[in-house]
Structures are given as structure tokens and as C-alpha cells.
Amino acid sequence: MKKIVLVCVAGMSTSLLVSRMRDAAKADNYPCEINAYPIADASAVIPEADIVLLGPQVKYMTNKLKKEYSEKIIEAIDMRIYGMVDGKGALMQARQLMGE
């Protein structure tokens, strides 16, 4: 089971996106765990994640986190997908980044 982690400023703004991603995963019978966390918790949650998607508010942290966790897939969520709260699109982005 893949573990998908979304990171934003406080972990709150991505909660609706997480909910829609979970719905999309369920509809596709894709076994995964999807959760959102504040950037302050990054060091605790990134080591266990298969992929980390960053919200637009913390996109500036991408390079720093990639250096710290070079073995992890860490990317910013596509702005269009985030803005439209497109759970299916965000899940598809995560799966493509993981090579699925």
C-alpha cells in the first residue's frame, strides 16, 4: 500500500483535496493511504512516505526537502489541480511521479 503525504502550511487547507483523492483512490480500487500534514511535521512524516506532494504555500521548500530526503519523491502539486481541488488529478499526478 502506497503512502501519499501532502504537506502545506498547517495541514488544513489540503484536507478537502485529501478527501477527494481518497474518493478517487477508492473509485479506482487503488490501495493507498493519503494524509495531509503541516510543514512543521515534515521531518516526522516524510521518512515513511512513498511520495510527498507540497501545497502551493510551501512550494518554496521543494529543493530543500529534496536535498534532505534525496531518496524520496517530493514535488509540488500542480497549481491547476490544487486550485480546482481535483482529487482525481492529484492522485494521477502522484501515481505518475511514482511511475505507475
Q: What pLDDT does 10 receive?
A: 82
Give me the amino acid identity at 52. V
Please provide the size of the chain in residues: 100
Could you report the per-residue pLDDT of 31-85, keeping only the tens digit for each? 999 999 999 999 999 999 999 999 999 999 999 999 999 999 999 999 999 999 9
pTM of the model: 0.94
Q: How do strand 51-54 and strand 32-38 relate by DSSP bridges?
A: unpaired
Which amino acids are annotated catalytic? 8
Domains in the chain: ranges and CATH: 2-97 (3.40.50.2300)
Q: Do 54 and 62 contact (CB within 8 A), yes or no? A: yes
Q: What is the DSSP letter of 70?
A: T
Whether residue 91 contacts residue 21, with contact meaning beta carbons closer than 8 Å, is answered with yes
Q: How far apart are CA 79 and CA 42, in angstroms?
A: 21
pLDDT at 11 over 80: no
- Is residue 13's pLDDT more than 80? no
Query: So what's the pLDDT on residue 84?
Result: 95
